[in-house]
């Protein structure tokens, strides 16, 4: 990598002062703040935050005062996307600056090696005081056994509910503020670090705070293998939601769903009957959880203001993916629909424009080069993203490189029975598959069809051909899908071998245990047929 690393002690004598000034301007001139120092960089990354809530009309449904603060004093990206709509692969893309198919981050278990060089590592190597706390979730080996087995076996010919039915749970009263205690603990630690360490440092600093909110909570009643299907909040946060503005999304009939969407709906345990009140309640509770996350962002901003550091700090707020919250008859993520793939991205800082709404298509891999650009560090080779600073800077003596007019997102994990590749370009969202399924790609005009109900791939064959050609120029997606198939079989086979005689028992008691127990023998045979061929 082409990095500029300064010695720990940069001694300057009077007769070389002019030379040093030229050196500093060459590398740091683009981002010099009013006091002549490199900016501090603070990033708050939440989980499962629908990016459409950061601008109108979505922003009206719930009070998000600190996100609004960033909107007014910074820039809001109206078309920011995750590079993979699931926790670990998405964060792997953000930290590495590379697309998922390049890092082989296939699911929540298979992500980055522990020794990968993140943009935080680059900042530290170039003189920044760095701190990472809270949810990181980008290296291999995390998440539940159920989660990885469901991803590996997605090609098996059975249909099993893998998640708990989405439900709501109200706790406490109007004085109950701290619901997600782990997130609040990490937020308190971030505040303390800003007050005690950052404020006394003579170095520029970079702080990352990862939140779990507004990710749904684990549904304890479903046992030790349960996933997160409980939307939980208190009356205090629910009061921040404008109930009269909550929409009840329309659903297509199950019989008319795209086969991958049908599989997702069924495995997410959303194929049953839901009343309008249930759907509205789930959405209200989700928005309330977003309000609690916003308050944690506010604590970080307040700490920067209290220490006098805010004017010299770039603040970034984003998320790993969104949350469907019962749109398209689904909750959770793992989908290329807007609720799942559209993420928030707001950036505020010295020398950056205020009140700006950026229409360009961007994605999480753009954060790596943007942070380096802000810090005046020369670009690392082989990054998938591009710096967003030319879109934000009030003035720059450097030529503004045009940002690509497309974004790529891909998905290879559980709750979808095919690798999914989404290319967003202009008004179009193109979703392609290459898993041997006899399914058509999807094409949505997201400006005319905001609800993404009308697949117009047959109506616009020339658009499909053009976008598919562009997609293949970015990623050889049939080849990638083949690699994922091979990985799934090899990983599952190794896991099976490691269990020995316990294999059947462990398999039968994963998150799908309710449906599994209906026909254990048939389900095991289906896995054997997938793994070994005819049985």
Question: Looking at residue 6, what is its pLDDT?
Answer: 35
Residues 6 or more apart whose Cβ sits within 8 Å of residue 4: 27, 126, 377, 378
Mean pLDDT, residues 386-391 taken together: 96
Cα dist. 207→194, 304, 342 in Å?
9, 11, 24
Is the confidence at residue 340, as pLDDT, over 80? yes
| Average pLDDT, rounded, for the chain | 91
Per-residue pLDDT of 222-276, as tens digits, reads: 888 888 999 999 999 999 999 999 999 999 999 999 999 999 999 999 999 999 9
The better pLDDT of the pair 98, 9 is held by 98
Cα dist. 151→1, 17, 147, 242, 516 in Å?
33, 59, 6, 37, 16
Tell me the sheet residues that pair with 411: 420
Q: How confident is the model at residue 401 (pLDDT cuts 50, 70, 90)?
A: low
Question: Looking at residue 396, what is its pLDDT?
Answer: 58
The tokens describing 28, both together, are 């740091």
Per-residue pLDDT of 402-445, as tens digits, reads: 789 999 999 999 999 999 999 999 999 999 998 765 678 999 99
The better pLDDT of the pair 484, 439 is held by 484
Q: How confident is the model at residue 534 (pLDDT cuts 50, 70, 90)?
A: low
Give the torsion through C-alpha atoms of 447, 318, 477, 462, to 10 deg.
10
Question: Looking at residue 325, what is its pLDDT?
Answer: 98
Tell me the sheet residues that pair with 356: 75
Edge-to-edge strands, sheet with 428-433: 406-411, 420-425, 428-433, 442-445
Q: Look at residue 66 and give its three-state secondary structure.
A: helix
Percent of residues, the chain, with pLDDT higher than 90: 85
The tokens describing 415, both together, are 């709750």
Is the confidence at residue 1, as pLDDT, over 70? no
Question: Looking at residue 4, what is its pLDDT?
Answer: 36
Is 111 a catalytic site residue? no
What angle (nearest 5°) sits at the alpha carbon of residue 396, between those of residues 391 and 402? 40
* Tokens 């706790």 found at: 171
pTM, entire model = 0.92
Per-residue pLDDT of 74-88, as tens digits, reads: 999 999 999 999 999
User: By C-alpha distance, which of 477, 384, 336, 456 is closest to 93?
Assistant: 384
Catalytic-labelled residue, pool 87, 111, 290, 414: 87
Helices (H), 29-154: 65-73, 87-96, 100-103, 119-125, 145-152
Per-residue pLDDT of 519-531, as tens digits, reads: 999 999 999 999 9
Question: Looking at residue 191, what is its pLDDT?
Answer: 98
Is the confidence at residue 117, as pLDDT, over 80? yes
Cα dist. 92→97, 174, 347 in Å?
8, 38, 20
Percent of residues, the chain, with pLDDT higher than 70: 91
Question: Looking at residue 10, what is its pLDDT?
Answer: 33
DSSP state of 509: T
Mean pLDDT, residues 322-347 taken together: 98
Helices (H), 367-519: 367-374, 389-392, 461-474, 477-499, 503-508, 513-516
Is the confidence at residue 397, as pLDDT, over 80? no
Per-residue pLDDT of 358-386, as tens digits, reads: 999 999 999 999 999 999 999 888 999 99
Mean pLDDT, residues 302-320 taken together: 98
Identify whether the C-beta of residue 336 lies closer than 8 Å to the C-beta of residue 411: yes
Per-residue pLDDT of 167-226, as tens digits, reads: 999 999 999 999 999 999 999 999 999 999 999 999 999 999 999 999 999 998 888 888
Identify whether the C-beta of residue 249 lies closer than 8 Å to the C-beta of residue 320: no
């Amino acid at each position: 990598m082409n990095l500029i690393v300064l010695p720990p002690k940069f001694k300057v004598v009077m007769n070389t002062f002019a030379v040093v000034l030229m050196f500093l301007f060459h590398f740091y001139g683009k981002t010099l703040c009013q006091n002549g120092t490199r900016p501090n960089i603070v990033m708050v990354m939440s989980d499962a935050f629908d990016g459409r809530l950061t601008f109108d009309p979505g922003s009206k449904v719930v009070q998000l005062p600190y996100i609004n603060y960033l909107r007014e004093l910074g820039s809001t990206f109206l078309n920011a996307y995750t590079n993979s709509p699931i926790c670990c692969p998405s964060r792997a893309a953000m930290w590495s600056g590379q697309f998922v198919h390049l890092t082989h981050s296939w699911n929540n278990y298979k992500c980055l090696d522990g020794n990968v060089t993140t943009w935080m590592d680059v900042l530290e190597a170039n003189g920044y005081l760095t701190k990472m706390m809270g949810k990181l979730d980008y290296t291999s080996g995390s998440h539940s056994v159920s989660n990885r087995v469901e991803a590996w076996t997605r090609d098996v010919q059975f249909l099993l509910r893998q998640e708990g039915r989405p439900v709501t749970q109200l706790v406490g009263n109007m004085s109950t503020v701290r619901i997600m205690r782990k997130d609040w603990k990490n937020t308190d630690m971030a505040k303390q670090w800003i007050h005690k360490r950052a404020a006394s440092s003579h170095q520029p600093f970079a702080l990352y705070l990862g939140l779990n909110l507004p990710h749904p909570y684990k549904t304890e009643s479903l046992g030790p293998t349960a996933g997160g299907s409980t939307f939980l909040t208190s009356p205090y946060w629910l009061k921040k939601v404008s109930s009269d503005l909550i929409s009840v999304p329309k659903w297509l009939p199950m019989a008319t769903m795209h086969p991958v969407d049908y599989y997702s709906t069924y495995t997410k345990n959303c194929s049953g009957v839901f009343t309008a009140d249930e759907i509205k309640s789930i959405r209200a509770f989700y928005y309330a959880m977003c309000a609690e996350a916003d308050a944690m962002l506010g604590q970080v901003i307040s700490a920067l203001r209290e220490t006098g550091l805010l004017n010299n700090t770039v603040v970034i707020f984003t998320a790993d993916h969104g949350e469907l919250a019962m749109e398209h008859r689904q909750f959770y993520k793992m989908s290329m629909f807007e609720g799942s793939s559209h993420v928030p991205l707001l950036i505020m800082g010295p020398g950056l424009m205020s009140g700006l709404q950026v229409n360009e298509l961007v994605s999480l891999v753009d954060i790596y080069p943007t942070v380096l650009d802000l810090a005046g560090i020369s670009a690392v080779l082989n990054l998938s993203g591009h710096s967003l600073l030319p879109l934000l800077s009030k003035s720059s003596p450097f030529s503004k490189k045009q940002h690509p007019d497309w974004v790529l997102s891909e998905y290879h994990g559980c709750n979808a029975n095919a690798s999914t590749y989404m290319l967003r370009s202009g008004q179009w969202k193109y979703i392609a598959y290459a898993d041997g399924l006899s399914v058509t790609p999807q094409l949505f005009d997201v400006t005319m069809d905001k609800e993404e109900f009308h697949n117009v791939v047959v109506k616009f064959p020339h658009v499909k051909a053009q976008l598919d050609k562009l997609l293949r120029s970015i990623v050889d997606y049939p080849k990638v899908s083949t690699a994922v198939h091979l990985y799934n079989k090899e990983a599952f086979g190794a896991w099976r071998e490691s269990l020995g005689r316990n294999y059947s028992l462990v398999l039968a008691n994963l998150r799908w245990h309710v449906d599994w127990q209906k026909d254990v023998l048939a389900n095991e045979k289906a896995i054997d047929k997938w793994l070994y061929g005819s049985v």
